[in-house]
Chain A
Amino acid sequence: MDIDQTRRLFLSQAGASFGLLCLSALTPDLLAQAHEHAQAAGKSGTMTYRFFTPQQAAVFDAFAAQIIPTDNTPGAREANVVHFTDYVLSTIDSDQQKPVKDAFKALQTQVTKSVPGAISFAVLTSAQQIEIMKAMEKTPEFGILRGFVITGFFGSPALGGGNKNEVGWKLIGFEDKFLYQPPFGYYDAQYNKGKS
C-alpha cells in the first residue's frame, strides 16, 4: 500500500458532501446498461429520464451550467451531465436518490428566500442563480449536486454518457490514449535533450 493522499482528499470530500462511499459495485450488467444509456443519450436530445422529473432535470441542468459554464469552450450542458446523473442515480448510485432529492428541496428553499414567489431555480436569471448558489455553497446539499456535475463532466464517457465527446478531458488537456512514451512533458523533453 502506498500513501494515496489523493484518496484521502477524495474520500474526505466524498465523506463530507458526496456520499460516495456507501455504493454498490458495478456489475457487467450495469456496465452494459451504461453503454446503452450512453449511446441513447448520444442519439437523441430528448430522451426520457429514469430518475429526474422534467422539472428536476431543468433545475439540475441550470445548476450544472453554473458550476461549469459554457463559454468559448463546452460546459456541463454539452457534456451531458444531466443524463449522466440521471443514469447513475437510477442504477449504481440509487442510494443517493434521497440526498439528491433533499438537495433539490434545499435549493428551492434558497430560491424562495432569495426571490420570493419564484417557482424554480431553472427560470431565474443567471445573476439570481449565482447569488443563490453563493448563499449555499458551503452546504452538503450544494456539495452533492456539484459532485455529480464534476463526475459527469470529467468521468469516463463509457459510464452513463457523461463527458460527452470527451469535452471535459479536452478542456483540461487530458488525452484519452492511456498509452504514452517519453517525453511526457516539456521539462523531461528538455532534460533528455541536454543529456543526448
Chain B
Amino acid sequence: MSAATPPQRHYELSAAVDFVIIGSGASGGVLARELSRNGFSVVVLEQGPWLTAADFKHDEYMNWSHSALTNDPRKQPTTFRKTPRDKAVKQPALTYGRMVGGGPVHFTANFWRFHEIDFIEASKKGTIAGTGFADWPITYADLEPYYTKAEWDLGVSGQAGASPFDPPRSKPYPLPPMPIKSSGVLFEQGARKLGYHPFPAPVAIISQSYQGRLPCEHCGFCMGFGCEMGAKSSPLPTMIPQAIATGRCEIRPNSYVRKIELDTNGRATGAIYFDKSGKENLQRARAVVLAANGSETPRLLLLSKSNRYPDGLANSSGLVGKYLMFNTDSLAGGLFEHPLNEYKSIEVTRIIHDFYEMDPKLGFYGGGGIDARFLWQPISFAFNGLPRNLPQWGSQYKKALQKYFTRSMVLAGHTTSLPLADNSISLDDTVKDAWGLPAMRVTYKDHPDDMKTNHFMVDRSMEILEAAGAQEKWAYPVEESTYGFHLLGTCRMGHDPKTSVINPDHRTHDVPNLFLCDGSSFVTSGRGQPTETIQALAFRAADRITALAKGNQI
C-alpha cells in the first residue's frame, strides 16, 4: 500500500526550520498543526507511509497479521524479558501506529478524559513502596481547556453530564453519542440492576457530519483498521491536512530517525534519518520535538548517546525508558438469547466508571472502567472468541461458532498500571533492526496490585453479565502482561530534574531546545484509555512551546 504525497510546502535539508517534529501521530499531528498555525516552519519526520482512506480495506488477515498500519516485527524486532534478571528473548512485545496519523488511525477511538484524581493520586492516597507512584506537576484544571480543545478540534461524540463520576468540563461534546448497540443495552440494564451508572461512551468518531467530514456508516471495522469514511477522528483527516493548509508544514513519510544531533553547546541542531531509499539525511532545526510514542521516544534518546551524554540524551535522571506502563485489561464474555450482531458499528457504546477508584477497604491500589463490546471479526472470533472450554475444531466447534458469533459480547475492563522502575524500554545488546540499529528491549512485569485490580474487574464483569440475563458467561484468564499497546511513562514529567525527564512545558531538563510530548510524558497510567490525554497534552505543549519561542526562551 502506498499513496502519493499530497501537495505541500517543501523545505530543504540544509536550511534550519523552526521545529522538526518526530512522529505524526496522536501528539505529533496536533503539534504539527498548532505550531504551523502559530507561524512556525515545521518538518514532521514520520517513519511510516502516508496512506489515505482509499488504502484502508476490510481485510482482517492483512490488517492483523501483516502489520499494515503498525510497526513491523520483521523489520523492527523487539526482545522481551519479565525482569532485568532474565535474559531477553526475541519476540514481538508491543504495537504502535506506524503511518502518518499514527496509532489513532487504527485505534478503537474510546476517548476518555482523565479525572481530577489521576493527577494528584499519590498525595491523596499516599505513595506506594517500591513504585514510582507520584503526582503530576500539572492538574486536571491545567489540562481541562485542552481536553475541550481536543474534543472540538478533532470531533468527539458523547453526552456531557451523563456520568456522575465525570470531571468538570467547560463545554459539552461537539457531537451527540453514537447509536446504542445491543451490547450497550444489555450492559446498561445489567449495570443498573446492580446500582451502577452506565453512560454513553465518548468516542473520537463523528456521529454526524462535522467540519466537512462525513459521519460513521457503522461498518464495524474500527479497532485495528483505518476508517475508509474518514469518520474516525484521528490526525489523518483532521490535524494533518490542516497543518499542510498553513503552507508552513511539510510531512515527510518513510523517514526513520536514528539520532538527535547536538552542537558543541549541547543544543539540538536537528535529526538524522534514513529516507525510503535508506539514504541518511540531516534535517536541521532550531528546536526538536519528539512525539514518537512512549517506546520510540526513549529509544531514540538512548540511541542519541554521545561522549557528552554516554547514557543517552536528556537522561541525567537515569529515567529515560523507565516506568513503562501498559495499562491492564480484563475480559469476560456472555451469550444471550437473541442476536446482538455486535460485528456491526463501533466497538463500544456504553461504559461505567463506578470503579474508577477502588474502595480502600479492598487493600490494594487500582481502578478503571468497564465497557461492553465485541472484540472480534470473523477470523479473530474463530481463533479466540469462543469460551475456552468448548472444542476448538471439528463439528462441535463449527456449531459453536455458528451459535456464538451473533449472540455474544464481552465486557472489557481498562485499568491502572503502577509505575515501576524495572519496567522499561532499553536497547538490546545483540538484536538489531533492519537499519542496523539496536532493537528495542522491553522489560515488564505487572505489579501485584495491577493483577488484583484485573481480577476485581473480571468478577464485576461476570456479575453484570449475570444481571444482564446472559444464558452463559465466561471469564478469560487474567495473565501477566507480555505485550503492550499503551506505551506510557517512559520520559515522565516533573519539576525535579533528578526524578523526571521533562518539565511541565515538555522541555527536557537537560537540553533546552529539545521537547518530548507523547505517552512517555505520563506520570501515572490513568484508567486504560490514554489517547485523549496524550492529545490534550500536545495541545497544551504547543501553547507552552509557542510562548517560549515567541519570548526567545528556546
Contacts and interface: CB of A to CB of B under 8 A. Distances in A.
Contact of A156 (B59, B182, B186, B341): B59
B398 A187 contact: no
Interface stretch (A38-46, A48-56, A109-117, A146-154): A146-154
Given A5-B412, A155-B60, A10 B380 contact: yes
A130 interface: yes
A71 B397 CA distance: 12
B61 A156 contact: yes
A191 B181 CA distance: 10
Contacts of B104: 1
A159 interface: yes
B95 A7 contact: yes
Contacts of A154: 60, 378-379, 381-382
Nearest to B486: A1
A166 to B, nearest CB: 10
A156 B109 CA distance: 24
Contacts of A21: 65, 67, 73-74, 92
Interface in B79-97: 91-92, 95-97
Contacts of B329: 3, 5, 8
A180 B229 CA distance: 13
Contacts of B67: 21, 23, 25
A146 B378 contact: no
Contacts of A58: none
Given A10-B383, A130-B394, A179-B217, A5 B331 contact: yes
B223 interface: yes
B402 interface: yes
A69 B398 CA distance: 8
Contact of B66 (A25, A130, A156): A25
Contact of A172 (B95, B218, B402, B483): B402
A75 B91 CA distance: 34
B327 interface: yes
Interface string B346-389: 00000000000000000000000000000110111111100000
B72 A25 contact: yes
Interface in A73-92: 73, 75, 92
B181 A184 contact: yes
B60 A156 contact: yes
Given A5-B375, A69-B398, A184-B181, A173 B108 contact: no
B200 interface: no
Contacts of B64: 7, 10-11, 14, 20
A186 B380 contact: no
B485 A172 contact: no
A153 B179 CA distance: 31
A150 B528 CA distance: 31
A153 B60 CA distance: 12
Contacts of A146: 392-393
B448 to A, nearest CB: 20
Of the four ranges (under 10, 10 to 19, 20 to 34, 35 or more), the interface on chain A belongs to 35 or more
A185 B181 contact: yes
B219 interface: yes
B485 A179 contact: no
Interface string A7-32: 11111111100101111111110000
Nearest to B487: A1
Nearest to B186: A187
Nearest to B384: A9
B412 A1 contact: no
Nearest to B488: A1
A169 interface: yes
A46 B91 CA distance: 40
Contacts of B482: 12
B398 to A, nearest CB: 5
Contacts of B378: 154-155, 168-169, 172, 174
A182 B398 CA distance: 29
Interface stretch (B11-19, B300-308, B332-340, B506-514): B332-340
A9 B377 CA distance: 13
Contacts of B281: none
B53 interface: no
B220 interface: yes
Contact of A2 (B108, B342, B383): B108
Contact of B381 (A7, A172, A178): A172
B376 A67 contact: no
B68 A26 contact: yes
A66 interface: yes
A28 B110 CA distance: 32
B128 interface: no
A181 interface: yes
Contacts of B487: 1
A122 B540 CA distance: 65
B224 interface: yes
B223 A4 contact: yes
A102 interface: no
Nearest to A3: B329
Given A171-B401, A184-B341, A187-B182, A67 B73 contact: no
A130 B396 CA distance: 13
Contacts of A133: 393
A188 interface: yes
A4 B103 CA distance: 11
A167 to B, nearest CB: 11
Interface string B175-192: 000011110111000000
A154 B108 CA distance: 22
Contacts of A188: 179-182, 184-185
A12 B339 contact: no
B406 interface: yes
B384 A13 contact: yes
Given A171-B401, A188-B181, A23 B393 contact: no
A158 interface: yes
A1 B103 contact: yes
23 contacts: A2-B223, A3-B329, A3-B529, A7-B223, A7-B224, A9-B476, A11-B95, A18-B65, A20-B64, A23-B65, A23-B67, A25-B67, A69-B395, A71-B398, A153-B382, A154-B60, A155-B379, A156-B62, A172-B401, A180-B218, A182-B179, A184-B344, A191-B185
Please give me the 8 A-B residue pairs with the lowest Cβ-Cβ distance, nearest first: A185-B182, A2-B108, A186-B338, A20-B65, A187-B182, A172-B405, A154-B378, A6-B375
Given A2-B109, A181-B218, 17 more contacts: A2-B110, A4-B95, A6-B376, A13-B384, A15-B91, A20-B65, A68-B393, A71-B398, A151-B61, A154-B60, A171-B398, A173-B406, A178-B217, A180-B218, A185-B341, A186-B338, A188-B180
